[in-house]
Copies of this chain bind each other. A is one copy, B any other.
Amino acid sequence: MTMETQFERAEAALSHCEQCSVRNRAICNLLSSEEMRELAAITRHATFEPGQVILAEADSREIVGTVTAGVVKLTKALPDGRQQIVGLLFPSDFMGRLRAGESRVHAEAITRVEVCLFNAPRFRELTERYPVLKNGIYERALNDIDAAREWMVLLGRKTAEEKLATFLVMLAERAVIATCRRDATGAFMDEDGPVLLKLPMSRADMADHIGLTIETVSRQITRFKGNGLISVIGGRDLQIPDLGRLRAIAEG
């Protein structure tokens, strides 16, 4: 490839980046426009259909990138097939890690997913040159730890009702962040008003995430409908009239 075409590709990628919907939340936001040009030069875009495996457990390929659309589930399985979702990746989330070695989780698209994939060795080299980038990756790892630990409390100590409530609150909050709902002062809306929500996953995935069976998930949803906590529109779409009530249940 000649220098020109390389440069052109980087330019094209960069303009693509400037219109990116997760621009202001993803790690690329940490870089200056000159640095971002370097990143864009080692980026390629990929799309995964629902159910498609992005990286299998024990796969040694290096996958590093940013989710720009859709939802990815990270799962671990026991030999007999029991399964646990250990993490979800939403748009703007960083995927992968700064070191080679076997994957410890199975990554799979649960909706249609779009990702910016970075060339791993070169991305690692970028993090060495730009500490702000490496710090960003580190901070995201810390957030992953916090999220995992938060979820350990849910899995180990919460009832089925609390588990479902926590899950819905989590989704609602992510939705609020993603759409950047802000009040008049510019702060994030944290009021407990009505929220419209599209469940990005099946009952089976919900069950695997909160440590229940699909039947129990379904029964709890039915109960929530009966209590007026939620109203389900078409199986996957629901409305939460009072997020505060749900939050109260989520914490016991």
Contact = CB atoms under 8 A, between A and B. Distances in A.
Interface of A: 74, 76, 78-80, 82-84, 86-87, 97-99, 104-105, 128, 131, 134, 137-139, 141-142, 144-146, 148-153, 155-158, 208, 210-211, 251-252
Given A131-B128, A138-B138, A153 B79 contact: no
A240 to B, nearest CB: 21
Nearest to A78: B252
Contacts of A252: 78-80, 82
Contacts of A128: 131
A18 B149 CA distance: 35
A249 to B, nearest CB: 12
A105 B141 contact: no
Contacts of A97: 142
A210 B156 CA distance: 7
A155 B211 contact: yes
Given A138-B98, A141-B141, A149 B105 contact: yes
A212 to B, nearest CB: 9
Contacts of A131: 128
Contacts of A139: 99
Given A74-B149, A78-B157, 17 more contacts: A76-B149, A76-B150, A78-B153, A84-B153, A87-B149, A134-B134, A137-B138, A138-B141, A141-B141, A141-B145, A144-B145, A145-B145, A148-B148, A148-B152, A151-B152, A155-B155, A157-B211
Chain B CB within 10 Å, residue with most, of A99, A137, A155: A155
A155 to B, nearest CB: 4
12 contacts: A76-B149, A82-B157, A82-B158, A98-B138, A105-B149, A134-B134, A141-B141, A148-B148, A151-B152, A155-B155, A155-B156, A155-B211
